[in-house]
Amino acid sequence: MITVWLDEITRCLKDSTTGDLVETEVLQVQRSSFLKKYNQKNGWYVNWAELSKECEIYALVIEGTVDIQGLVAIQPKSDYGAVYISWMVTAPHNNKDIVEQQKYYGVGGHLFAIAIQKSVEYGFGGAITGFAASKELLDHYIKWFDADPIGILHPNHFIVEGVAARKVVSEYVYKWSDDKL
């Protein structure tokens, strides 16, 4: 389930108070013991330690830290010809559905770009698919980056591919770290 809003296209994350741009990097999270603190009880929508059994999990962090700003769980799906996004969420302090003022803008777009980049690496040309958490979010994705609603497995099922996927990846900048948590 994908719960993120695309709030602003920013090459880096943008501090909502100061307007400062903050560099980011991507870390793969493999240890379920690390992920146990990211769960439904504290605003992360789902138990991420459980997801790590079936999915690859990537964290968007402030560069040089493990200060997680968002998480995305993906599965390469040859039968779909795409990377399937199992879950994608921003940190509670970046979630406009939880807090009045989020800490950083740009987290959602960065998370989509991460999934698209992994799709390229898996040979799917950037194609990603998943389920928006609501019709409102689905419409938001259609508007922001030309997601195609397909409604096959879920009413809010969509795909992003081709030119639309390449455009998303070109908008966001982050470093990939070889470090794993």
Superfamily of domain 13-180: Gcn5-related N-acetyltransferase (GNAT) (3.40.630.30)
Q: How far is CA 169 from CA 5, 38, 124, 162, in A?
A: 16, 26, 14, 11
| E strand map for the chain | 13-15, 21-22, 24-29, 56-62, 68-77, 82-90, 104-105, 128-131, 148-149, 157-160, 175-180
pTM above 0.85, yes or no: yes
Percentage above 70 pLDDT, the chain: 100
Give the pLDDT confidence of 60-89 residue by residue, as tens digits: 999 999 999 999 999 999 999 999 999 999
Question: For the chain, which residues make up each domain, given as ranges?
Answer: 13-180
Q: Average model confidence (pLDDT) for the chain?
A: 93
Mean pLDDT of 164-171: 91
